[in-house]
Amino acid sequence: MDGDGHRERLTAWRELLRGAREHREGRETVWSLSPDRAGALADLVAAERSCCAFLDLRVEDGGPHVLLRVGLRAGRRPAPGGGAEEAARLLGALA
């Protein structure tokens, strides 16, 4: 992904996660979002899955909320210092 596309996607993630609750469960970060954000969440998760195979991203129904579980796939990590690492940190995969 080019630099502009990467910045746009990070901005979209920041906007989506603004106001979301975040907590750790083991090696994962779990984000709790309102259901009205489910469509935007699905779009961003699909985009990340297509470019960042090291991320383990799962969307679940959490009752009154939509949950995003973020972790790293076993034995996989983003390249240090790059845009992929920045995205992984933003999502909590490298917490």
Q: Which helix (H) or strand (E) holds 80?
A: none
d(CA 10, CA 79): 17
Number of H helices, E strands in the chain: 3, 4
d(CA 28, CA 31): 10
**Residue 25 pLDDT:** 97
**Residue 55 pLDDT:** 96
Q: Where are the strands (E) in 1-94, listed by range?
A: 21-25, 28-33, 55-62, 65-72
Using 50 as the pLDDT threshold, list the residues of the chain that sit under it. none
Q: Count the domains in the chain.
A: 1
**Residue 59 pLDDT:** 97
Q: Rounded to two decimals, what is the model's pTM?
A: 0.90
Handedness of CA 79, 27, 13, 11 (dihedral sign): negative
Query: 44 and 27 in contact (C-beta within 8 Å)?
Result: no
The parent domain of residue 50 ranges over 3-91
